[in-house]
Amino acid sequence: VLFLQSSRGKKKSGDVSMKIQRNECSKRSENVTLPAEVAGSTTDIIIVGAGVAGSALAYTLAMDGRRVHVIERDLTEPDRIVGELLQPGGYLKLIELGLEDCVNTIDAQQVYGYALYKDGKSNKVSYPLENFNSDVAGRSFHNGRFIQRMREKAASQSNVRLEQGTVTSLIEEKGIIKGVTYKTKTGQELTTYAPLTVVCDGCCSNFRRSLSKPNVSILVEIPSCFVGLILENCELPYKNHGHVILADPSPILFYPISSTEIRCLVDVPGQKVPSVNNGEMTNYLKTVVAPQIPRELFSAFMSAIDKGNIRTMTNRSMPAAPSPTPGALLLGDSFNMRHPLTGGGMTVALSDIVIIRDLLRPLGDLNDAPALCKYLKSFYTLRKPVASTINTLAGALYKVFCASPDPSRNELRQACFDYLSLGGGFTNGPIAILSGLNPRPLSLISHFFAVAIYGVGRLLLPFPSPKRMLIGARLILDASSIIFPIMKAEGVREMLFPATMPTHYTVQDLCLS
Ligand SMILES: Cc1cc2nc3c(=O)[nH]c(=O)nc-3n(C[C@H](O)[C@H](O)[C@H](O)COP(=O)(O)OP(=O)(O)OC[C@H]3O[C@@H](n4cnc5c(N)ncnc54)[C@H](O)[C@@H]3O)c2cc1C
């Protein structure tokens, strides 16, 4: 057992300020009988997985005085091609959680917006950061370095126990999750109990099915894969910006991950990528992708291919489908995924954690399973406007940015590229959604259809021909058929009218009830 605990933590569990806060709601726990193991437990919350979500949650709950036991399969520094660009909205959430120093000392790079490339033309689209402090911007980094910093920060709290182990099952009794069984590094099988278990075991979650609606596995879509390379000894054409190439068949991304390295992610549609082992991938990258790369990056791109460190990762998307379960909660990618084109995953996870933290704060007694369940149901509704907007944009933009033989889809793609170059609100609105600075559902819908109308207008002016009118009509249909199914899967009512949901309780409502 690797047990990391530090004496540097400032708050101890049950300190005076926490006791005052908790008393407000503690009456609710009367008359609830608890399983003996849970009642005697010295842990308030078990967290499964210490990735982005698990580490951030552990730290923030510990700061609120909770006793947290985190079980992570592998505590060594991850080496992955995921979660490398944190949007400015995510950075704001990091500040709210007190974790902003985790991007210091890891050679993270500030990101101020994107450069979009199409058919040799490029446009710069800056994040609308004017009204924020100068340090508010996106951050890009090595994912593993960021996660290690977050784990260290969580483990520095005296009331966090971070342990290496693989959780093998959830312990359930009479419909209530009471704890988990896990295997330690040495192969010992142990059980641990707590009134709340939060599962943050990532995109390939083993526990998603037990805590979601029965149809959850059919909701997981795999629209494409990313092929990752690291470019060295070169500069991005637009310094401190992400670069999105609207390539054929689908987008290519570049962004800095340190002061000397640039990540390249090549999207390959479908579930299969050319084989790396038999050289098909090298051939694909050199013949199909390389000719579409901006010339400033071309030779570094070719060198990266020759160097051979080619990584691949499946891109999954999955709307949240929770089945509210007393004593347990899913969070992060195990709960909800979206296409990584827009780099929204960590922002959604951190935003969810802020909501959970605020909801749990007044709940003194986590052993009150019915009250806890009510709070958790409310979480599923409160998160919807932000999470669904970021998710819907990711899915819709991926579809719009892919090349297509269909003339109306190509018009929509071109209209989107040109619309984002118009400046003012036309540029700021969509990029404020993407960056997580202002992710409002109505803004998303209005900009999405404004792009479509802009595309139709260009087709009809100055003189509409029957052919162009037909393409225009199909363009509107295409736009609708892209956005509405994603919104439907996300839940239109929760997204647009969360206050009409029976489970829409604010923290104040819950405290008063
Ligand atoms: C190719 C790609 C690129 C991406 N790029 C970005 C980006 O640029 N920006 C962005 O915001 N998002 C991005 N994302 C999404 C982002 O990576 C995720 O949203 C984020 O990592 C989710 O965090 P998580 O904590 O839920 O999962 P993870 O960070 O994957 O953490 C899960 C943790 O659980 C542990 N674990 C798993 N099973 C067990 C078990 N049984 N017992 C104990 N521990 C266990 C794992 O070891 C791991 O540490 C990308 C995704 C992909 C696929």
**Average pLDDT of the chain, as a whole number:** 90
Categorize the per-residue pLDDT at 233 as very low, low, confident or very high, splitting at 50, 70 and 90: confident
At 512 the pLDDT is: 57
Give the model's confidence band at 324: pLDDT under 50 very low, under 70 low, under 90 confident, else very high: confident
Residue 68, token pair as written in the block:
């947290």
280 has pLDDT over 90: yes
pLDDT at 505: 64
Specify the DSSP element, H or E, that contains 146: helix 143-155
Peptide bond between residue 249 and the one before it cis (omega within 30 degrees of 0): yes
**Pick from 70, 142, 139, 129: which is nearest to 99 by CA?**
139
pLDDT for 509: 62
Residue 499 tokens read as: 């206050």
Q: 478 in helix, strand or coil?
A: helix
Give the ligand 1 atom nearest the CA of 140: 8
Please give the average per-residue pLDDT across 405-431, as a whole number: 95
- Which residues are 192's β-sheet partners? 180
Handedness of CA 45, 49, 52, 53 (dihedral sign): negative
Residue 52 CA to ligand 1 centre (angstroms): 6
Following CA atoms 505, 509, 512, 513 in sequence, which dihedral angle do they give, to the nearest 10 degrees? -30
> So what's the pLDDT on residue 23?
30
Instruction: Please check the confidence at residue 3 and state whether its pLDDT lies above 60.
Output: no
CA 311 to chain CA centroid, nearest Å: 20
Least confident of 7-11, 190-194, 256-260, 345-349: 7-11
Collapsing DSSP to helix, strand or coil, 344 comes out as: coil
For a mutational test of ligand 1's pocket, the pick from 346, 348, 386, 398, i.e. the residue with the most ligand atoms closer than 8 A to its C-beta, is 346
Taking residues 347-366, what's their average pLDDT? 93
**What's the rounded Cα separation, in Å, for the pair 341 and 88?**
16
Residue 327: which region, alpha, beta or left (left: phi > 0; alpha: psi -120 to 50)? left
- Read off the pTM: 0.91
Share of the chain above pLDDT 70, in %: 90
At 252, list the tokens: 């290519």
Ligand 1 lined by 52 (C-beta under 6 Å): yes
Each residue's pLDDT tens digit, 65-115: 999 999 999 999 999 999 999 999 999 999 999 999 999 999 999 999 999
Q: What is the DSSP string of 178-247?
A: EEEEEEETTS-EEEEE-SEEEE---TT-SSHHHHB-TTHHHH-EEEEEEEEEEEES---SSTT-EEEE--
Check if the interface score ipTM surpasses 0.95: yes
> Which atom of ligand 1 is least distant from the CA of 331?
26
The CA 409 to ligand 1 mean position distance, Å, reads 32
Q: Using pLDDT thresholds of 50, 70 and 90, give the confidence band for residue 377.
A: confident
Q: Which domains does the chain have, with CATH numbers?
A: 3-106+141-217+320-382 (3.50.50.60), 222-317 (3.30.9.100), 400-492 (no CATH)
Residue of higher predicted confidence among 334 and 31: 334
Main-chain dihedrals φ then ψ at residue 185, nearest 5 degrees: -60, -30
Residues in contact with 45: Cβ distance below 8 Å, sequence separation at least 6, in sequence order? 61, 66, 67, 68, 69, 194, 195, 196, 197, 198, 366
pLDDT, residue 513, reads: 57
Cα 471 from Cα 406, distance rounded (Å): 9
* Pairing mode of beta strands 189-193, 138-140: unpaired
184 lines ligand 1 (CB under 6 A): no
| Residues 68, 151 contacting (CB under 8 angstroms) | no
Tell the residue number behind the tokens 């709960």, with chain if given. Answer: 335
- Write down the pLDDT at residue 504: 66
Please tell me which residue, 451 or 495, carries the higher pLDDT value: 451
Q: How far apart are alpha carbons 262 and 301 in whole angstroms?
A: 10
Query: Residue 227 pLDDT > 60, yes or no?
Result: yes
Q: Is the pLDDT of residue 184 over 90?
A: yes
- Going by C-beta distance under 8 Å and a sequence separation of 6 or more, which residues neighbour residue 68? 43, 44, 45, 46, 47, 58, 61, 62, 154, 157, 159, 160, 161
Can you list the pairs that 298-303 forms with residues at least 24 positions away whose Cβ atoms lie under 8 Å?
299/234, 300/231, 300/232, 300/233, 300/234, 300/262, 301/229, 301/231, 301/264, 303/231, 303/232, 303/233
pLDDT tier for residue 9 given thresholds of 50, 70 and 90: very low
Q: 467 alpha carbon to ligand 1 midpoint, in Å?
A: 47
Burial class (CB in 10 A: 0-12, 13-18, 19+), 28: middle
355 has pLDDT over 70: yes
Ligand 1 proximity of 206 Cβ (cutoff 6 Å):
yes
Confidence of residue 499 (pLDDT cuts 50, 70, 90): confident
- Protein residue with its CA nearest to atom 49 in ligand 1: 51
Where residue 5 falls among pLDDT bands split at 50, 70, 90? very low
Structure tokens at 373: 């369940």
Q: Please give the pLDDT value at position 34.
A: 44
Ligand 1 pocket, 54 CB below 6 A? yes
Ligand 1 centroid from CA 32, angstroms: 36
Give the position, in ligand 1's atom list, of the atom nearest the Cα of 344: 11
Ligand 1, atom nearest to 54 Cα: 25
For the residues 32-45, what does the mean pLDDT come to?
Answer: 62
List C-alpha distances in Å: 459 to 161, 239, 466, 467.
61, 35, 10, 10
